[in-house]
Each structure stands twice: as C-alpha cells, then as structure tokens.
Amino acid sequence: MIEEVSLIFMYLLIDAGGTSTKAFLHDGGGIISQYRGPPGSVATVGLERSVESIEEVIRHYGGRRFDAIAIALAGTDVQENLRKARTVLRSRLRKYAPKINVEHDAHVVLLSNADMGCSAILGTGSIVYCFDGKRRVIRGDRGWLVGDPCSGFYFGREYLRAILYQFQGMKRRSCMLLNSGFRNEDELVKFLYENSCNQDKIAAFSSKLFSCIDKDEQAKYILYKGLNQEWEAIKSALKSSGQNSLYYFGGLLASATFESSFVDFITKKAREYRIDVKIKKSNEIIDGLLRLLQF
C-alpha cells in the first residue's frame, strides 16, 4: 500500500503601505494568520526602513522558511527605484524563501481584478495606475510634498490648515474645529511642528474631515477640490493608456461618505466628458499577491 503524502504550501503575502506593513500567511487555500507591522512604503520611510519593516513582519513568524514570498511595495513609482528594491529585498530575504516576487502595490491591486486596466489607490498616499499589457501609465502620485492629491495626507493637511485659519479668525469656526481635539492654537501649532512630516499622523485627520462633510461647507470644499484633482489624474491616465476599467482601493474607503462621494463624482465627470469607464471597487489585494506568485 502506498501512503498518501499531503503537501502543504506556505506563502507569505505582504502589503507594504504608507500606514503599516500587513502580512498574510496563506496555505494556498486560505489565510492562516495575519500580522501588522510598521509602515513599509519606500516613499514614506525610505528603502532601508522599508526593508526593515518587511523583515520585522517576517520575523514575527519565527524565522521559518516559506515556499514563496510576494510583496506589494508602495512608493516605487519610479522604475529604477522598483528595480533597486527588488534587488535589495531578494538579497536580504532569500534565507526565508526560494522565490521572492516584488511589485508596485498599484500593479498588484490591478492584478487582483484583471490583467489590464487601471487602479486608483486612495490611502495614506494616492496614485492612478494603468497597464495595457506592455506599458505603465502613472498619474496623481509623486508623494505628499507635491503630489498625492486624493490621499489621506492631502485631506489631513488641508483639514489642519483650515482649523489653523479658524483659530486665527481668518475663517469662520465650524464643525472641523469643534471635532479637532485641539483646545487652542498653541496646541495645534505644537502638534504641527512635531509632526509636519509624519504622514501617518497627518493622514489620520482625514476621517475628521469626512465626518463634517454633511454639515460644513469648508470641509465639503476641501473634499471636492481633492476629488477634482483625482479626476484630472484619472482622465489623463485613461486617455494615455486606452483603458476603460478603473478599480479603486485603499484605506480612505473606510469612510462610507468618502467612498460614495468618490464614486458619484468620478461617474458624473466621466459622463460629462463622455468617457466610457467602468468603475468598480477592487477585490482584496491578497488576490493580486497570489497572482504575483505565478510570475
């Protein structure tokens, strides 16, 4: 009698983003466990700290070896940076797995849904990414300093700017100030000086902005200014790539107000400009990470 041998594969799927680095232990049939570590976006923390964050979530599993590791890495919009990140990660992580695939997180989001099309990531940072099978088209990214116009950082920064103006009497006091948690201007300024480049902490104020949309015209103005800039990025990317599918994904979707506003606004603009685009919420990024292992 020949005894049956059960082969159990173990894959580590990693989503390294601007707020956290999430790891999923997967056996090919489903998720066995999850772990959340520090931010891993190259644009947020730099390549070295990104690698350290990824190594931290791997060490959480006791230094075991995996059959393969797939990594969705945010902040690698420039191809040269993505190639460098792949080289460094494969060198540092090869003791953990024989196969290590690393890809831009926006491409992995797209893979979660289709081989070609466009994805819009709306998280701590933001990006519109299209792929036609050969060519990548990227719009509305380039980080918090000059880009990412529909990101948590953008909305958080504009929220904080608005309440500063309200404290100083330059704008009418509103829901945003009442919900801010700051008792006076000095408290706000102290926070700003200590956290001006802390993307995660600034982005966290986006939820306070969204909670005021229905009762605060200043909050509504900030939201739709960001959405309009996002539309310009989407319009340009669709035109340049020739694609007509848009899959949206990201942490800002935790706000039902933001998600409905985003979908309604982009749908309205597409009709206005007579652009045929199918807008759909993305599948989970795990689907794309599993597909990444096939390459």
In order of their start, the domains of the chain are 11-113+284-292 (3.30.420.40), 152-281 (3.30.420.40)
Residues near 100 by Cβ (< 8 Å), separated by ≥ 6? Answer: 68, 69, 71, 89, 90, 93, 94
| Predicted confidence (pLDDT) per residue in 214-269, tens digit | 999 999 999 999 999 999 999 999 999 999 999 999 999 999 999 999 999 999 99
The per-residue pLDDT of the chain, averaged, comes to 93
pLDDT tens figures, 89-103: 999 999 999 999 999
Confidence of residue 27 (pLDDT cuts 50, 70, 90): very high
pTM of the model: 0.91
Torsion of CA 265, 134, 44, 63, to 10 degrees: 120
Q: Of 157, 154, 175, which is closest to residue 166 (Cα–Cα)?
A: 175
